[in-house]
Amino acid sequence: MTISRLFQCVAVSLLLAACKPELQPVETVAILADYTEHDIASLQTLMQKGELSSIELTRFYLDRIEAIDQNGPALNSIIEVNPDALGIAAALDAEREVSGPRGPMHGIPVVLKANIDTADKMETTAGSLALKGHRPPADAFVVAKLREAGAVILAKANLSEWANFRSDWSSSGWSSVGGQTKNPYDLARNPCGSSSGSAVAVAASLTSVGVGTETNGSVVCPSSINGIVGIKPTLGLVSRSGIIPIAHSQDTAGPMGRTVKDAAILFSAMVGRDPADPLAYSFPESLPDFSAGLSDKALNGARIGVYRNHGGAGVDARVERILEDTIETLRSLGAEIVDPVEVDREGMGSAQHEVLVYEFKADLNAYLENSGAPINNLAGIIEFNKAHADTVMPHFGQETLIEAQAKGPLTDDAYLEALAESKRIARNGIDNALETHNLDALIAPTRGTAWLTDHINGDQSTGIYSSSLAAISGYASITVPAGDILGLPIGISFIGTAYSDEKLIKLAYAFEQGGYKRRPPFKNQ
């Protein structure tokens, strides 16, 4: 570095300090390097060599958020930056100097979806103005796990308001707190919901990794459409306590990364037994390091079934070509392909909807009553929205909230029957397919191409989806970039049975190594 360049960088840093004093570290640093697309392993190598600090990395992402999220293309994926992020990074740098790193997440910035509780200066709103100012008294269990692993909680990401459970006419990625998040591959197109902000932030290198949540597709859909990896865990592996809910029988947080290994590293830091979560004791005693033992040979001898009758199958020949390319890649990597595999899912969707509206009322009321939220029940949320319709409902209404409010308790026969039916269909669908054909996993296109954002007609997707089986059953799935259509990413999902997360990650990693190479948006911006 030349002396003049060093002084120029310090001057820029001091100017930023004057504009944003609350975001400054203990010392001023000069940043010249470009860390877009760096994976966690390469960042840790640089930190261990003393060529990068967590402060520098955190500042890099903060500057990038300002440059292309708040300005420039204005992706609008971040609702709120953590004013303590640089201070946290500084403390972790000091700890590294004294005792070394805690693990692979030490000093690594993470963006959280804004329905995940943090006991800090950031708000937890689920994107709703009804919860503006809500600062929970405690971290969500998963946030406590991330802090324990040494992660830097960088920011809260925008989302579809109430995790896309407000209206049939909603626009994914829009919230009354955060406005509309844009797709970084085409700003006029939609990022998919509801974990849209988390996915866009990861795709555009505004963070190293991100955390989303899913009830039915809200991790895997935005991951697919924004060209990243998203893991939908087996239900219960990641605690749900401290996360604004939709439905406890399907809700889970999930990791998002630009590579399978990065998502797996984050996943390993997120899992754990939480006595506050009713599913805390239903999973295996010992959990693996999901990022360990990854090999490009994992597909050799694996039996993969092609799930052909997913939603929207056959409507887009371009997506079908990407699926065929995926099948050929899997074969070339040693996999045995069983094609087609038909899954019986008749009646699953209608039963699921009944479950969700019942559980949303019960689960949201329980959260609001116990989290110190400014409004303590669903009825109050509905009334707030009516009173502030101009700002909360400028584009679409709240008919889903009203439908949920009309439901009775979770002891109703209608709910219990729908719950049993939806689980039976989804679990039998996956398990019977795997057992009948002796399969390790199913594959299917995760979603079609990103649709144009439309605040009048709401989401107008192609109808291609395969997320419901894993979502409703509570089983594992992972989506990986598999191709693109005129630059718009398409992901392929690997779907398995309960606690097949480790196996699916290994299969997806091998496919990633031998297949399509992700094309990042906004490179070098």
Q: What is the 3-state secondary structure (H, E, C) of 182-231?
A: CECCECCECCCCCCHHHHHHHHCCCCCEEEEEECCCCCHHHHHHCCCEEE
**CA distance linking residue 212 with residue 251, whole number of Å:** 11
**CA distance linking residue 245 with residue 367, whole number of Å:** 8
Q: Which of 13, 170, 218, 466 is catalytic?
A: 218
Q: What separation in angstroms does the CA of 118 have from each of 10, 103, 135, 235, 243? A: 33, 22, 7, 22, 10
In 10 A of CB 13, how many CB atoms? 18
**CA distance linking residue 129 with residue 484, whole number of Å:** 36
Q: Which of 54, 170, 176, 194 is catalytic?
A: 194
Q: Which of 53, 113, 171, 500 is catalytic?
A: 113
Q: What separation in angstroms does the CA of 414 have from each of 355, 369, 407, 423? A: 9, 25, 10, 14
Closest CA to 86 of 17, 158, 3: 17
Q: Which residues contact 368 (CB under 8 A, 6 or more apart)?
A: 375, 376, 377, 378, 380, 381
Contact indicator for 229, 260 with CB cutoff of 8 Å = yes
* Alpha helical stretches, state H, 406-487: 413-436, 468-473
- State phi, psi for 482 to the nearest 5 degrees: -130, -10
In 10 A of CB 102, how many CB atoms? 16
Q: Which residues contact 63 (CB under 8 A, 6 or more apart)?
A: 16, 31
Q: What separation in angstroms does the CA of 239 have from each of 139, 143, 161, 273, 277? A: 12, 10, 21, 7, 6
**Across the chain, how many H-helices and E-strands are there?**
16, 13
- Collapsing DSSP to helix, strand or coil, 154 comes out as strand
Residue type, 272: G
**CA distance linking residue 115 with residue 198, whole number of Å:** 11
Q: Is 113 a catalytic residue?
A: yes
Q: Is 239 a catalytic residue?
A: no
- Collapsing DSSP to helix, strand or coil, 118 comes out as coil
Q: Is 268 a catalytic residue?
A: no
Tell me which residues are annotated as active site.
113, 194, 218
